[in-house]
Structure formats: C-alpha cells, structure tokens
C-alpha cells in the first residue's frame, strides 16, 4: 500500500470564482465560476479517481473493493467512503441552508445526514460566516422570516480569519460569507436544504430551488452554544463523525506515518515527500489531498514550511 492521490472534481457554482487556480494551481476551466473542488469523494456518481501508482485509474470505491482492509484497516468496512473533502472558493455569499441529522432523515424518509467543519484557508478583511441561530429564535419566528426574506438576520454573524476551524453539526442553520477560501470536511452527503439565496437569479432570471419545509424540519432550534466549537491548533474537531488535527512543520523536519489507522492529509501550505519501503516516493504540494492507507508505514518529510490537516474517522 502507498499514499493515494486523486483527480479533483470541479463544481461550477453561482458564488464561485478562479481562486482555486491562483492559490493552488488547480486546472479549473477558465472563465467559469468554480465554487467547489471535491478532493476526495464517494457520493453517488461523484467518485474520486486515483492518479498515482498501481491503482491509478481506479475510483476510491473500486480500490477499496479490491484492497479494502489494507486501505481502511477495517475488515467489516461498509461503503461509501466515510468522508467528503472539498475546497470551497466563496467569492460571493452562499445560501442560508441546513443539513439534516440522522434522526431527521429517518423521520422524514428524505436525504442523508451531514455534519461538517470549515477550515479557513484565506479570509478577506471583514469576512464573516453565519453560524447558528440567534438566542431564543423559535421555529415560528424563523418560518415567518423566511417568508419576509429576512431569515439571515436571525443567524449569528461571526467574523473569521485564516487558521480557524469552525465545527457545524447537522441541524445547524448556516451560510458562508464572501471572500473566503475554505477546506470543508464532512460526511459523504450532498443533502442541502436552502431557505434563502439572497434573491439571486441565474442568466435566465431564475432563482435556485428552495427547500423551506425540509429545512424547518431539520434545524435544531434548541442547539446549545458549545456545539459550535472553534479550533486553531492541535485537535480541531473531535466528533463521532470525524476527527481533525492541524500540524505545522518546518523545512527538513520529518513525521512518522505509522500503520494501523487510515488517515487523510489535506495540505494547506508547503511541499514535501512521503517515503515508504518498496514503494515510489509520493510528492505533495499545497492544495493536495492524500489518503494514507491503514497498512502503510513510512515517513513524511518537508521541503518547506508546511501547514496540513489530518482527518480520521
């Protein structure tokens, strides 16, 4: 086994831009608003393709089917791959939305649960996110605000800066503000219920679909404040769905990658190599996402100062 690299899946979004090219040298289409780069995905038809080594050309799903235990470390692993890793380029504000939790999906018979976190890679001056409801907001008040087009006023507006990691459990009403480059780590779900899209329309004058009834059913109106954690160093997220840690290394330093647990590395800055016995070296640069199989043992060496996230489940 060896660390796996993937071909990104680019998603055009009304709020996207070209920052993925200028910051990470992603080969995105020119003059297209690319809002999302799905770095590691196994969601419906969107399955990441491996681009290095003997498994090049395989999807993450087919690779696990062939080498499941060696990759996941779990003999009873059940697909899909348990993480979806994205990089988001928010040149404009995203819709006000919510993702359901497992209980809501079961109760309504719709969708798939999604808990997520946002690691702020870059932030424009005065950049904000909208994260959770203001204290005391009721279901009835929020429903009325949706009708009035003022529901964003009932969300907590939070200033953000590079290096922060914001945890958003399923059921949290939220929106990403403009001028943000974000690494998003989440459960493998694309279920999003929009309640307000800032009155935007596409080239044909049509607004995007809203899902008001589903959103109202999904929002946690009694959400405790301590659920919406913010991390800046060390262990950033420690949830039932995934765990995220942050590392900073200097040029010439090395880190041992021990076998036993599958991990995903998201390279925010810097470059280097991963070396293992009897396998080719695997280079990495900023913007790369690598899956380190549970059966791999090696050394991660850094050619420059490096900031990276480590994700496990």
Active site residues: 194
Closest CA to 260 of 235, 294, 230: 294
Residues 6 or more apart whose Cβ sits within 8 Å of residue 223 = 132, 133, 169, 171, 172
Per residue in 187-218, is it b (16+ CB within 10 Å) or e — as a string? bbbebbbbbbbeeeeeeeeeeeebbeebbbbb
CB count in 10 Å sphere of residue 9: 18
Residues 6 or more apart whose Cβ sits within 8 Å of residue 144 = none
| Three-class SS of 13-24 | EEEEECHHHHHH
Quick one: CA dihedral 6, 249, 256, 116, positive or negative?
Answer: negative
CB 86 within 8 A of CB 28: no
**First CA to last CA distance, the chain:** 19
Give strand ranges (E) for 79-221.
Answer: 84-90, 96-98, 116-123, 128-133, 155-159, 165-168, 174-176, 180-186, 193-196
| Three-class SS of 175-205 | EECCCEEEEEEECCCCCCEEEECCCCCCCCC
């Amino acid at each position: 086994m060896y660390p796996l690299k993937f071909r990104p899946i680019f998603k055009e979004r009304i709020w996207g831009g070209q920052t993925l090219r200028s910051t990470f040298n992603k080969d995105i289409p020119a003059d297209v608003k690319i809002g999302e780069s799905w770095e590691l995905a196994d969601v419906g038809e969107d399955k990441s393709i491996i681009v290095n080594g003997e498994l090049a050309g395989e999807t993450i799903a087919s690779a696990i089917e062939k080498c499941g235990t060696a990759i996941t470390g779990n003999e009873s692993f059940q697909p899909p791959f348990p993480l979806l890793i994205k990089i988001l380029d928010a040149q404009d504000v995203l819709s006000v939305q919510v993702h359901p939790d497992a209980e809501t999906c079961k109760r309504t018979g719709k969708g798939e649960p999604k808990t997520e976190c946002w690691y702020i890679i870059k932030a424009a001056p005065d950049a904000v996110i909208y994260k959770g409801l203001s204290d005391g907001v009721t279901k009835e008040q929020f429903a009325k605000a949706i009708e009035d087009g003022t529901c964003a006023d009932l969300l907590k507006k939070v200033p953000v800066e590079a290096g922060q990691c914001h945890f958003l459990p399923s059921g949290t009403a939220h929106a990403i503000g403009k001028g943000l480059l974000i690494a998003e780590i989440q459960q493998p779900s694309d279920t999003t219920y929009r309640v307000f899209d800032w009155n935007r329309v596409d080239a044909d004058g049509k607004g995007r679909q809203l899902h008001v009834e589903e959103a109202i059913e999904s929002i946690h109106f009694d959400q405790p404040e301590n659920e919406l954690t913010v991390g800046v160093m060390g262990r950033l997220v420690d949830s039932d769905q995934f765990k995220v840690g942050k590392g900073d290394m200097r040029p010439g330093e090395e880190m041992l990658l021990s076998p036993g647990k599958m991990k995903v590395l998201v390279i925010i800055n810097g470059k280097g190599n991963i070396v293992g016995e009897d396998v080719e070296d695997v280079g990495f640069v900023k913007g790369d996402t690598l899956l380190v199989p549970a059966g791999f043992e090696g050394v991660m060496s850094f050619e420059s100062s490096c900031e990276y996230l480590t994700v496990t489940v």
